[in-house]
Amino acid sequence: MLSIDYISHTFKGQKQPVLKDIAVTIEAGQQVALIGRSGCGKSTLLHMLAGLTLPSEGCVRIHGKQVIKPSAKWNMMFQRPSLYPWMTVKQNAALGLVFAGEKANVDARVGELLELVGLADKADVNVQQLSGGQQQRVALARSLATDPELLLLDEPFSALDAFTRMSLQDEVSAIARKKNITLVIVTHDIDEAIAMSERVLIMSQGPGQIVGELRVELPYPRNREQREYSGLREQLMQQFSDSSHAKKSNVAPLHQQQRVAVA
C-alpha cells in the first residue's frame, strides 16, 4: 500500500544528508513503528509520507502513486494536539471535514467519532477545559473524520502521563485495526513501539537509515506484563544498541544485508 522508494534527503544549505537510502514497503492495515534517537530524521521521514516535504532523492508511493502533496486520506497527528482554543470539542473535531470540504452529515459523523474516542459527553465543552489526554483524543477524532487510509503519528503521546499514554496507545491501535487504517508511528519509546506495532523499524542517526527490524507477533491488545512482551523489549534494546555499534563500523544498511525477522 505504502512504499518508500530509496529516499535520501539533504536539507538546503547542508552538506550531510539527514536521510539516506530508506527503502520500506508497508501493507494495507499494517501497524508499523519507526524508532530512533532524537534528531535522527524520524519526523522528516514522516513528513515525506504525509506529502509535507519532498525528498531530494527517491519518492514515497501510496497505491503505486507518487505522493507529492498532502491529502485527507493520509492524516498526521502530532505531539501537541493543536486545537483551536476558542472552539468546542465538536467544532474542533469537525475541522477535518470542514478542511476537506465535506458538508454532508457533519453532526452525525462527528457524533460517532466522539463516541469512538470516548468523548461523547464532552461534545459541547470548550477544549481548554479538557485534560491533555482528552485534547489528544479530540485531535484523534479530527484526524479520523475524513476516513483516512493511513494515519501518521509523530510521538503523539509523549506529552501525556504514563497511564493516559498507555490507554491511548491501546485505543488508537484498536481503532486503527477496527477501521483497517494503516498506522505509522514515530517514537523514541521502546515500549510504545512494542505496544502498538507489528513491525518495529530501527533507525540510525547521521545519516538516518533503517538498520534493523523487529517483528512483534503478539496478540492485541498487548499485555505489558507478559513474559514474551518483556523478551521483545529486551531484544529491541539489544538490536538498537547493536545497530548503533554496527553504524560506527560502517556495516551495510539493512536492505543490502539479508533481512532477518526476529519473532
Ligand X SMILES: Nc1ncnc2c1ncn2[C@@H]1O[C@H](COP(=O)(O)OP(=O)(O)O)[C@@H](O)[C@H]1O
Residue 247: how many other CB atoms lie within 10 Å: 16
Q: Which is nearer to Mg ion, 43 or 243 (CB)?
A: 43
Residue whose CB is nearest to Mg ion in the complex, by number: 43
Residues that bind Mg ion (CB under 5 A): 43
We find the least distance from the C-beta atom of residue 9 to ligand X, in angstroms, to be 9
We find the least distance from the C-beta atom of residue 42 to Mg ion, in angstroms, to be 5
CB burial readout 140-155, b (16+ within 10 A) else e: bbbbbbbebbbbbbbb
Q: Which is nearer to Mg ion, 31 or 43 (CB)?
A: 43
We find the least distance from the C-beta atom of residue 59 to ligand X, in angstroms, to be 18
C-alpha distances out from residue 256 to 29, 76, 214, Å: 26, 30, 17
Alpha-carbon span 85 to 127, nearest angstrom:
6
Pick one of ligand X, Mg ion, none as the site partner of residue 38 (Cβ within 5 to 8 A by kind).
ligand X
Pick one of Mg ion, ligand X, none as the site partner of residue 173 (Cβ within 5 to 8 A by kind).
none
Burial class (CB in 10 A: 0-12, 13-18, 19+), 218: middle
We find the least distance from the C-beta atom of residue 55 to ligand X, in angstroms, to be 12
Q: Which is nearer to ligand X, 19 or 195 (CB)?
A: 19
Q: Which is nearer to ligand X, 113 or 184 (CB)?
A: 184
We find the least distance from the C-beta atom of residue 41 to ligand X, in angstroms, to be 4
Q: Which is nearer to Mg ion, 95 or 172 (CB)?
A: 172
Residues that bind ligand X (CB under 6 A): 11, 18, 36, 38-44
Q: Which amino acid is at 56?
A: S
Pairing outcome for strands 150-154 and 65-66: unpaired
Q: Which residues sit opposite 172 in a β-bridge? A: none
